[in-house]
Amino acid sequence: MRTILFLTAGLLLLASMLVLARLFVAHYPAAVTWAGAGFLALWLLICAVNMWVGVARAGYSVGEELPILLLNFAVPAAIGVLLAWKLR
């Protein structure tokens, strides 16, 4: 259930970043590219903190948390890269 919530949060963050980029694209043509890069950096940081919480607080090992980190990061990141590429 937590993975589904994180994937949903990632997609909502992506949508908000792309909406903001579309608002600024008339004055700043590279806004979509910057929003995509900003989303990837921010989402990687959020996923890394989630992994740290799982290891430090919940008692999971790094080996147990690493596949979850990759899944949580990769799905919204792949969708974000595709959307940023299509919207450029």
Dihedral (CA of 19, 43, 69, 59) sign: negative
- Counting Cα atoms < 13 Å in the Cβ hemisphere of 28 gives 11
Domain ranges of the chain: 2-87
CB 18 within 8 A of CB 81: no
pLDDT at 78: 96
- Asked whether residue 44 carries a pLDDT value surpassing 80, the answer given is yes
Token pair 């990141």 in the structure block, residue: 77
Summarize pLDDT for 6-37 with one digit per residue, the tens: 999 999 999 999 999 999 999 999 998 899 99
Q: What is the DSSP letter of 58?
A: S
Token pair 């579309």 in the structure block, residue: 22
